[in-house]
């Protein structure tokens, strides 16, 4: 039997922050709830990122719901990538039952059913705030990574972006980019001009880029690129004192890894480039939760994996925390896992030799403890129980503690279709981003030019019968006549090109 008094003294000291904090539950020892030990996380270190892991059915989603509720109460907004589609119930108050009564009676906390402010978001046709970005905002480097272009193709894409910038051709959606690629490979379009001013480019390279764009469109990216583009500051809203819970519904991620990679890269880059440095603010500005993270790491492109690793290292300085929810810690790449300050580990099952290796690997990453046989207990944690270790306000890892987690105070189920409709109809953000804006951009400009060129094809010259030159022809062949002719032709050509939106290079 472990020394209970020592356990209470040590754990209470390390889990009692001086500043603001969130509460996850009560400590446990020898299978019993120790009400004297509150397991709390300082808000100051929530931007040091984290992991919520555990086998299917051990309570990860409910732990995520409790975490997000606690953040909302503290005025911290969040963005939850709801891959399973079972998180929307946080918008409605929970219902007390015997299981909840028993759990709260053991912890000594009071259960207060309540709803939390929610914005439903979408990168597809589902109901919610439409998240969009323009091709120009994405830029050639980020877009090239998503399209998985090689180094040569990436350089060509950068030239295309430069050409559009020089020629005043806005790149808003993928139709714009495809039209530009078509135009600069057209002998009657911009092919000669591109070759003259930017260098010769093989048509096969343009074709390869175009095929990658079409493949991305097949996953629904056409709806993602466009205007109005989403302002990441809209993720920071509050309703009264509560932070808004932004829920991105991406239930079909398994079938659209490239689209999801596109969104993730865009979101991380935009937040990092837009948000100012926070310094030591005492609480995070925004917390991102990526549910079923193993699907992302298994399906995502190498570009996304590199971007996540980079952002995890850098984005905390912007006051943003990133949390991964997955089945086993080994689902998360080692370079990312080493950056995660908070770990909430639900039960793992050792059914196979591989499972047991994952258990050993998980236990090795925990602080050494005299109170638990972690390798054995991790396989026998009950539903709603988890190992927790975090960072205290000084950035020092806290002792490993078996935690009896509190229950969510909001609904532990999904919203009905009628509730989803009511929620989105009342949303000012839905109204703000619902209607796409189709401004004049590269597609419209170049289509007009190509249509004009097709309507006025160059006529083949007809050789006239040879006649004796008259007086007028003799004058026009003279030096003065040729000068007058050149002036007339030049000015007439400039006038025609100006009518169709082109400028003639001198």
Residue 473 pLDDT more than 80?
no
* The pLDDT value given to residue 404: 97
pLDDT tens digit sequence for 408-465: 999 999 999 999 999 999 999 999 999 888 888 888 888 888 778 777 765 554 444 4
More confidently predicted of 202 and 391: 391
What mean pLDDT comes out for the span 495-501?
42
**Token couple for 35:** 């009400």
Gap between the Cα atoms of 234 and 224, Å rounded: 17
Gap between the Cα atoms of 130 and 149, Å rounded: 27
Residues sharing a CB contact under 8 Å with residue 465, sequence separation 6 or more, in sequence order = none
Using only C-alpha atoms, the chain has a radius of gyration, in whole angstroms, of 31
Range(s) of the chain covered by CATH 3.40.50.300: 4-124+230-426
Gap between the Cα atoms of 171 and 464, Å rounded: 48
Residues sharing a CB contact under 8 Å with residue 380, sequence separation 6 or more, in sequence order = 347
Confidence grade of residue 255 (pLDDT, cut at 50, 70, 90): low
Q: What is the pTM of this model?
A: 0.83
How deeply is 161 buried, as exposed, middle or buried, from its count of CB atoms within 10 A (0-12, 13-18, 19+)?
buried
**% of the chain beyond a pLDDT of 70:** 87
pLDDT tens digit sequence for 137-167: 888 988 888 888 988 999 999 999 999 999 9
* The pLDDT value given to residue 263: 78
What mean pLDDT comes out for the span 216-227?
86
At residue 28's C-alpha, the angle toward residues 288 and 1, to 5°, is: 145
* The pLDDT value given to residue 477: 52
Gap between the Cα atoms of 373 and 368, Å rounded: 10
pLDDT tens digit sequence for 26-63: 999 999 999 999 999 999 999 999 999 999 889 999 99
Residue 376 pLDDT more than 60?
yes
**Token couple for 362:** 């998980």
Domain 4-124+230-426 has CATH 3.40.50.300: yes
* The pLDDT value given to residue 499: 41
* The pLDDT value given to residue 352: 84
């Amino acid at each position: 039997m472990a020394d209970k008094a020592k356990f209470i003294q040590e754990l209470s000291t390390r889990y009692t922050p001086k500043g603001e904090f969130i509460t996850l539950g009560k400590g446990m020892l020898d299978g019993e709830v120790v009400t004297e030990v509150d397991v709390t996380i300082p808000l100051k270190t929530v931007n040091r990122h984290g992991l919520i892991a555990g086998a299917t059915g051990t309570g990860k989603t409910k732990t995520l719901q409790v975490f997000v509720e606690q953040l909302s109460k503290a005025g911290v907004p969040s963005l939850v990538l709801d891959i399973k589609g079972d998180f929307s119930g946080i918008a409605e108050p929970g219902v007390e039952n015997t299981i909840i009564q028993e759990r709260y009676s053991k912890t000594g906390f009071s259960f207060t059913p309540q709803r939390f402010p929610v914005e439903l978001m979408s990168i597809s046709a589902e109901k919610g705030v439409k998240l969009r970005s323009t091709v120009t905002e994405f830029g050639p480097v980020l877009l090239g990574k998503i399209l998985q272009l090689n180094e040569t193709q990436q350089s060509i894409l950068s030239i295309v972006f430069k050409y559009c910038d020089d020629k005043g051709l806005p790149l808003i959606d993928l139709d714009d980019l495809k039209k530009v690629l078509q135009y600069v490979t057209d002998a009657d379009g911009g092919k000669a001009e591109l070759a003259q001013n930017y260098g010769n480019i093989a048509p096969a390279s343009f074709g390869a880029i175009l095929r990658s764009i079409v493949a991305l469109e097949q996953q629904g990216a056409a709806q993602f690129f466009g205007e109005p583009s989403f302002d990441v500051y809209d993720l920071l809203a509050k309703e009264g004192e509560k932070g808004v819970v932004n829920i991105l519904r991406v239930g079909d991620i398994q079938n659209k890894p490239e689209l999801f990679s596109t969104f993730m890269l865009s979101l991380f880059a935009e937040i990092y480039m837009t948000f100012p440095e926070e310094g030591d603010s005492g609480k995070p500005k925004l917390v991102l939760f990526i549910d079923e993270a193993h699907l992302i790491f298994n399906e995502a492109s190498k570009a996304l994996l590199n971007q996540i690793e980079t952002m995890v290292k850098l984005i905390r300085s912007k006051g943003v925390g990133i949390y991964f929810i997955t089945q086993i810690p080994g689902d998360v790449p080692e370079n990312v896992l080493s950056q995660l300050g908070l770990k909430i580990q639900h039960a793992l099952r050792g059914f196979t030799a591989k499972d047991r290796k994952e258990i050993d690997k998980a236990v090795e990453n925990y602080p050494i403890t005299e109170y638990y046989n972690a390798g054995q207990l991790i396989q026998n944690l009950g539903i709603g129980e988890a190992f927790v270790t975090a960072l205290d306000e000084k950035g020092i890892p806290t002792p490993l503690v078996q935690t009896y987690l509190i229950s969510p105070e909001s609904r532990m189920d999904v919203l009905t279709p009628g509730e989803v409709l009511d929620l989105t109809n009342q949303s000012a953000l839905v109204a703000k981003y619902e209607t796409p804006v189709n401004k004049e951009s590269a597609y419209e400009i170049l289509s007009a030019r190509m249509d004009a060129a097709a309507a006025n094809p160059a006529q083949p010259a007809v050789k006239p019968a040879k006649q004796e030159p008259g007086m007028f022809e003799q004058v026009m062949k003279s030096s003065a006549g040729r000068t007058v002719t050149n002036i007339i032709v030049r000015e007439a050509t400039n006038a025609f090109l100006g009518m169709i939106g082109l400028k003639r290079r001198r």
